[in-house]
Amino acid sequence: MNRADAWAIVTEYTQSESLRRHMLSVESAMRAYAKRMNGDIELWGVVGLLHDFDYERYPNVATEGHPVVGSKILRERGVDETIIHAILAHAPEITGVEPETDMEKVLLAVDELTGFLIAVVLVRPSKSILDVELSSVRKKWKDKTFAAPVNRHEIEERAKALGVELDDHIQTVLDAMKADADKLGLRGNIPA
């Protein structure tokens, strides 16, 4: 499956701009890690882009909801099992599919972190990821009332499972999202 086909599925199933932004952000992070870990950049990107495509229609994370329903839709469309397995592995507590490959472990590690970074951007006066630095992310990280639903411990553990220090992990994802600021709609009021 190529990126254009994956994007067509995303736009068919997802109308929410914020959810699309999330999937695009995860795609950016996945591509950055693929480069870093000698993975297949296109495959990793497609996995990141597709991982939540069914969430808007099937928001109940359960055996009859996300991502199980999405995996069935993808299977019916003939999508490669490698992609389907990775998507199922990003919710192992529901699917029973544990992340095995570097690609699957990275998906788990970047998924929630991208949402936290977007939250950091949206409270800045500039509304731009381009002026977000690691220090500002870490300051928000310590404030447990900020983006309270984000499980920081889980992100820390997933970075550790990759063998990456938390600051390095945050910086990698932040840099990837900065590189795609326009595509993510995160340039804010900083001129091009």
Residue 143, domain member (yes or no): yes
Q: Cis check for the bond before 67: say yes or no (omega within 30 of 0).
A: yes
Residue 88 binned pLDDT confidence (cut-offs 50, 70, 90): very high
Residue 192, domain member (yes or no): no
Confidence at residue 172, expressed as pLDDT on a 0 to 100 scale:
98
Confidence at residue 191, expressed as pLDDT on a 0 to 100 scale:
82
List, for residues 113-137, the tens digit of each pLDDT value: 999 999 999 999 999 999 999 999 9
Residue 146, domain member (yes or no): yes
Residue 191, domain member (yes or no): no
Count: domains in the chain: 1
List, for residues 19-40, the tens digit of each pLDDT value: 999 999 999 999 999 999 999 9
Residue 188, domain member (yes or no): no
Per-chain mean pLDDT for the chain: 96
Residue 154 lies in domain: 3-183
Per-residue pLDDT at 171 exceeds 80: yes
Residue 171, domain member (yes or no): yes
Residue 111, domain member (yes or no): yes
**Tokens linked to 157:** 């553990």
Residue 189, domain member (yes or no): no
Residue 150 binned pLDDT confidence (cut-offs 50, 70, 90): very high
CATH assignment of the domain containing 75:
1.10.3210
Burial class (CB in 10 A: 0-12, 13-18, 19+), 150: middle
Where are the strands (E) in 25-140, listed by range?
61-62, 66-67
